[in-house]
Amino acid sequence: MMYSTRWIPVLAAGMIGACAAAPRQFPHAYERAGLKTLPPVELVMAGGRQLPLAAAQGRWIWLFLGYANCPDICPTTLSYLADAYQRLGTPEKVEVLFVSVDPERDSPELLAQHAAYYHPGFLGATARRPVLDALTHALGANYELGEPQVVGGSYVVSHPNLIYVIDPQGRLAATYAPGRNAADLARDFDALTR
């Protein structure tokens, strides 16, 4: 069977034009996730309020996993998020969510205060361990609780230092490494939501 090749230049030109016309989403992202659907998890906020992650009410979520007693990564990343958030042209389209993977020490009330320290609009939440495990697995993230030096003593939690960008349909769209310029995250997001 013979195929006509006369349409190849037309198709190639159309494909090149389509690629050139389509904006490159999240050009400064650490990784673009290709809109991976997340499981329908419910996090717990202050006052026992439930926060279904999939129901962002038309808003994007910048999610960061950590814990309130974190000595270095969490304060630095939450400050980075505050800087990026303040640079946004349309901050009302974003919800910044700090999720603790240490619910034994971090109550929802403590997390609300902790997140608000960095910006009054930031939210803090956590969940039972099986819910956290389902969420972190879907995000491709790992965390590990360290062993206390003495019984009942303090311990360190190993966790990723990434910001997970979740679209209004509850899908993971990209991850950002906070060591980069906070303006990059804000610019990428503003370009996407114009």
Q: Which domains does the chain have, with CATH numbers?
A: 27-193 (3.40.30.10)
Q: What is the pLDDT of residue 150?
A: 79
Q: How far apart are CA 109 and CA 11, in angstroms?
A: 57
Q: How far apart are CA 134 and CA 97, in angstroms?
A: 17
pLDDT tens by residue, 41-87:
999 999 999 988 876 667 899 999 999 999 999 999 999 999 999 99
Q: What is the pLDDT of residue 6?
A: 45
Q: How far apart are CA 173 and CA 63, in angstroms?
A: 11
Contact 106, 67 (CB under 8 A): yes
Pick from 144, 49, 43: nearest CA to 97: 43
Q: How far apart are CA 39 and CA 127, in angstroms?
A: 14
Q: Which two tokens stand for residue 14?
A: 């159309």
Q: pTM of the predicted model, to two decimals?
A: 0.83
Q: What is the pLDDT of residue 55?
A: 61
Q: What is the pLDDT of residue 98?
A: 97
pLDDT per residue as tens, the chain (194 positions): 444 444 333 333 333 333 333 335 777 777 776 777 888 899 999 999 998 887 666 789 999 999 999 999 999 999 999 999 999 988 888 999 999 999 999 999 999 999 999 999 999 999 999 999 999 999 999 999 888 877 777 888 999 999 999 988 888 888 898 877 888 889 888 887 77
